Amino acid sequence: MSDFDFVRVFAHSNPLLVGHMANLLEAAGVPVERRNLALGGGAGELPPGECEPEVWVAPHNRQRAETLIREAQSDGDDRPAWTCPGCGERLEAAFDTCWQCGRHRP
């Protein structure tokens, strides 16, 4: 397949984040192509935007891939902070288990 058979859906200077997004798409059944994974050393000699690792997908998967990436980048947790009913510890919304006593969020 040529470059025109795929579209870029994600690029970032952090290769771990790019790998995470690619893995997320693959886990959702969207085949991906990873590009520019080894070009970081060229930064300075090449324009920075040309050296960023990228995730590409087939055009028919673009909308689904962009939706999945957008959802992954949003905080996604609209729940409020909570207080553990077991020990009274105040916990942020991201936690489902109390770190103090191990009790699960009600």
pLDDT digits (tens, 9 = 90+) for 17-72: 999 999 999 999 999 999 987 755 555 566 556 678 999 999 999 999 999 999 88
Better pLDDT: 46 or 95: 95
At 26, list the tokens: 């693959």
Q: Greater confidence, 8 or 72?
A: 8
Q: Is the pLDDT of residue 98 over 80?
A: yes
Q: Which tokens belong to 24?
A: 């997320």
Contact 20, 27 (CB under 8 A): no
Give which of 20, 22, 103 is closest to 55, Cα–Cα.
22
Q: What is the pLDDT of residue 10?
A: 94
Residue 79 pLDDT grade (very low, low, confident, very high; cuts 50, 70, 90): confident
Q: Phi-psi category of 86—alpha, beta or left, where left has phi over 0 and alpha has psi -120 to 50?
A: alpha
Whole-angstrom distance, CA of residue 102 vs CA of residue 90: 13
- Which has the higher per-residue pLDDT, 81 or 77? 81
User: Rounded CA gap, 11 and 92, in Å?
Assistant: 30
Structure tokens at 6: 């795929």
Check whether 7 has a pLDDT greater than 70.
yes
